[in-house]
Amino acid sequence: MNNVNEIDLSQVLKSLKERNRFIVGLTSIVTLIVIVYLLSFAPPSQYKIKTSFHKPSESSVLQINKYSLLADKTAESVFTLFLTNLNSAVLQKQVFLDGGYRDKLQKEGVVIEDVDSYITDFTQLILISKDNSDIVEVELPHILSAQSSNPDVVSEFLNEILLTADNKTVTSINKLNQLKIVNRLQDITSERQLLLTKLKQDRLSQIKRIKEADSQKLRETNNKIDAARLTAKVERMNQIAILTNAAKLAGTLGITGNNLNQFNNGKNNTILNIAIQSGANIPDWYLYGETALLEMIALLEARESDDPYIPELVLLDNLINEINNNALIQTLEQRFDDSPFNSEISKLDFEAINLKNLISLNSNSTNFNAMKLYQTATSQILPTKNRLIVILAFIGSFMLSIVLVLLMNALKEEDVTSIQKGK
């Protein structure tokens, strides 16, 4: 009884070997059907794109501040501006259009009917996040299919967005710095012009003060000249009156000629010489006589000007000439540039030269960035269950085929046993 119920393993293996074609065929057919189904109806391969970066290096910040009028930039402020530009939908759309990514996607078999809608839907998937290590990631975390995008094109697109946002940030910083420099140059020009205007006004005021002082000196000198002339005239008129009286007296006394020769004869020559030299006790009417006195009066009355007989007129005329030809006034009036006479203008000119050089360096500066790239954009295929389904289908169909073979063998043995019993 036990021998009847025992399973003959060799017989089972022999039966499986006899029906190996059935097993292989069934297993292959079922597996192939599953593969065809997955290729036809299952979702295609899926992937996501990711790139990462962090704030700019200290050297970049130093370079930014080097070319800046005010060294007020920090790594955080520059990075914040960069993230703002990076997250701009306008910038992302502009990069998509300028980079020709529509044509690139169409070449890969991606059909884009409405560009604006496609760009809007696509850029809205971009996610910017920051971890604890200050590394910022830009990724498309939502599932993208190969029918609607291409991983290589999308990776290139994200890298281009990073580059464009970085360039825009650097350009905006440069433009802001240049605007500050231009505004400062305008302020310098205004300050310089105000200083020059003040210097000119001070110079003109100085000229006016000098001219007023010279006018006062000129009036005083002319008054002195008039006073000297009046004094000389009065003295001449007094002298005429004295000589006139002496001439009348000489005529009355009958002294017509001079008596100067009488003082050289006689025993009192020494005393008379002393008296003549001193002029005491020797009246003019007696000394000169009427004829000489009248001639002297005539000469004094015929004198047209007393100027040659006024010694101080020479000094006064020289003083007037100096006043009329003041060298300081001529120097001040002929000055065309007042800037060398103010140290503030020199400082402003020096600052303007430095700022102009700074504009040139700023416009050519490309040795700094608004971010530091940590990892370029790469595509990552998301794992799917298609392979597992194929493996399960293969194993299941293989086991099913073995079961079917065993069932067929069992039924065949029962039929043989029934036939034998019927005999």
pLDDT in tens, 187-228: 999 999 999 999 999 999 999 999 999 999 999 999 999 999
In this structure, of 38-42, 125-129, 402-406, the range with the lowest mean pLDDT score is 38-42
| Closest to 124 measured CA to CA, from 169, 160, 93, 148 | 93
Confidence of residue 73 (pLDDT cuts 50, 70, 90): confident
Residue-averaged pLDDT of the chain: 77
In angstroms, the CA 107 to CA 153 distance is 10
Residue 44: alpha-carbon gap to chain centroid = 54
Query: 305 in helix, strand or coil?
Result: coil
Q: Which of 16-20, 45-49, 186-190, 376-380 has the highest mean pLDDT?
A: 186-190
What pairing do the DSSP bridges indicate for beta strands 46-54 and 135-139?
Answer: antiparallel
In angstroms, the CA 209 to CA 232 distance is 34
In angstroms, the CA 52 to CA 129 distance is 9
| pLDDT of 286 | 85
When comparing pLDDT for 168 and 378, which is higher? Answer: 168
Q: Is 289 exposed, middle or buried (0-12, 13-18, 19+ CB in 10 A)?
A: buried
| pLDDT of 3 | 46
The two three-digit tokens of residue 271, written as one number: 């005393």
Query: 376 in helix, strand or coil?
Result: strand
Q: Is 335 exposed, middle or buried (0-12, 13-18, 19+ CB in 10 A)?
A: middle
Confidence of residue 8 (pLDDT cuts 50, 70, 90): low
Question: What pTM was estimated for this model as a whole?
Answer: 0.55
| pLDDT of 414 | 62
In this structure, of 17-21, 153-157, 239-243, 260-264, the range with the lowest mean pLDDT score is 260-264
In angstroms, the CA 223 to CA 234 distance is 16
The two three-digit tokens of residue 285, written as one number: 């009417």
Q: Which helix (H) or strand (E) holds 41?
A: helix 20-41
